[in-house]
Amino acid sequence: MVSMPLNTHLSPFILKLVLIASFTLPVNLAVAGEASLTNTSATPSVSSSGVVDIGLQALLLTGQISSVQSQSFMVPKAGDAWRYQIQWMLPEGAVAEPGQTVVIFDKSQIANQIEQLEASLLRVTAQEQSLGIDLTSSVLQAKFDVKMQGSELEKSRLDADVPADYISAKDYAENQFNLMQAGSELSKAKQALKEVLDRQAASKAQLAIDRHRAQLELTQALHGLEQLELKAKIKGPVLYASDPWSNKKFAVGDTVQIGRQIATLPAMGELEVVAWVNEVDVDKIAVGTQVTLRLDSQSAKPFTGSIKGIGRQALKQPAWGQSNWFKVEVSFEADEDIKIIPGMSVLVSTGAVS
């Protein structure tokens, strides 16, 4: 058959492959073992003091110069709207003085509301005055009717007191009837006066409530108008905040929902660095860990710092993906020749200063 000579011809070649494989396999295993030992020796270790020893690999974090004392500017809850447009902002980096306006929101909607409330207050006040005049007139008329019916009763009583011996029986009976009728009319007049007085009191109370409500709504609207103009309480540079979803800084013309922070005003006194560490790396640092800091604008001038606080709860940063991040606070001491201003970007490294 043809296959038998073919197998006889290939058998020496297969034998050579087997010999080569048996020779190289121990060598590869030895190299793999050496690499494993090398990686194990590079594993970071934690000292008894809690400071991470990362060897040749430094943990790098990005942070920002911040202030221990700062003022946040939030979109206020003013009026019925839930979003407001930024109409004006103090330029970023400009130093604001206490009492100086930093942010102004669009006031057109609440200004229109104030005009309507002012008109409503004027209408309620005019209605109160007009109705007050009408009610006063009705009370005076009712009092006059009571007085007139009282006079009629006295007159009828005098006629009824004439003895029957001096007048006819018909006149006597008529006088007695007139007395009863005058008494009834006086009772009706007194009841009408009571009803008018009650109606006057109720109307005045309701109008007072309406006027107070209109005044309160107007006062709240005026207060809301003042809230749409945010002023500085401390001295410091203005730093614009960023949208948490797009990571884009807020600017004039943006429409922002209420409660959102749009700017901060850090004090120039006690400064710190605020950085964020990923949840997978948080175990590599601890409070007291010494770090090296470099400003992006002055990277050739490193200075040292120390981690003074690590957040207890991880937070989402939508612009950074789905990972969780822990807040890291770093205290530092910089040389006088390093110009540090809140808002500057900082690179935080657990490696030594170089």
* Exposure string for 238-267, b = 16+ CB within 10 A, e = fewer: bbbbeeeeeeeebeeebebeeebebbbbbb
d(CA 354, CA 352): 6
pLDDT for residue 339: 84
Residue 285, classified by CB atoms within 10 Å of its CB into exposed (0-12), middle (13-18) or buried (19+), is: buried
Please report the pLDDT score of residue 1 as a whole number.
Answer: 38
Q: What is the pLDDT of residue 147?
A: 92
- The length of the chain in residues reads 354
C-alpha angle 71-74-77 in degrees, rounded to nearest 5: 135
Specify the 3-state DSSP secondary structure of 249: strand
User: CB neighbours of 238 closer than 8 A, spacing ≥ 6?
Assistant: 89, 90, 91, 92, 93, 94, 95, 96, 102, 263, 264, 265
Both structure tokens of 346:
């900082």
Q: What residues of the chain score a pLDDT lower than 50? A: 1-56, 353
pLDDT given for residue 57 in this prediction: 52
Per-position DSSP letters for 105-153, written without gaps between them = E--HHHHHHHHHHHHHHHHHHHHHHHHHHHHHHHHHHHHHHHHHHHHHH
Query: Which two tokens mark 277?
Result: 């560490």
CA angle 254–234–304, rounded 5-degree value: 95
Integer Cα distance of 244 and 261 in angstroms: 10
At residue 293, the pLDDT reads 92
Looking at residue 245, the DSSP 8-state letter turns out to be T
The token pair that represents 275 in the structure block: 């950085």
Task: Give the whole-angstrom CA distance, residue 55 versus residue 53.
Answer: 6
Question: Residues 21, 24, 26, 32: is their CA dihedral positive or negative?
Answer: negative
The token duo for 26 is 């121990």
CATH number of 52-104+235-349: 2.40.30.170
Question: pLDDT tens across 49-103, in order?
Answer: 333 444 435 789 989 888 888 899 999 988 788 999 999 999 998 999 999 999 9
Task: Compute the 3-state secondary structure of the chain and give helix, strand, coil in percent, each to the nearest 5.
Answer: 45, 25, 30
Q: At what angle do helices 108-160 and 169-227 cross, to 10 degrees?
A: 170
CA–CA distance, 145 with 126 (Å, rounded to integer): 29
pLDDT at 270: 82
pLDDT tens-place string over residues 317-331: 877 888 899 999 999
Strand intervals (E) in the chain:
45-46, 52-53, 60-67, 70-74, 83-89, 95-96, 101-105, 229-231, 236-237, 239-240, 255-257, 261-266, 271-278, 290-295, 298-310, 315-316, 324-332, 345-349
Q: Can you give the C-alpha Rg of the chain in angstroms?
A: 46
**Which tokens in the block code for residue 137?**
């007139």
Predicted local distance difference test score (pLDDT) of residue 233: 94
What value, to the nearest 5°, has the Cα angle with vertex 243 and ends 239 and 249? 40
CA dist 100 → 19, 84, 241, 260, 313 (Å):
87, 21, 19, 21, 36
Least Cα distance to 286 among 56, 58, 53 occurs for 53
Residue boundaries of the structural domains of the chain: 3-43, 52-104+235-349, 110-227
Q: Supply the pTM of this predicted model.
A: 0.55
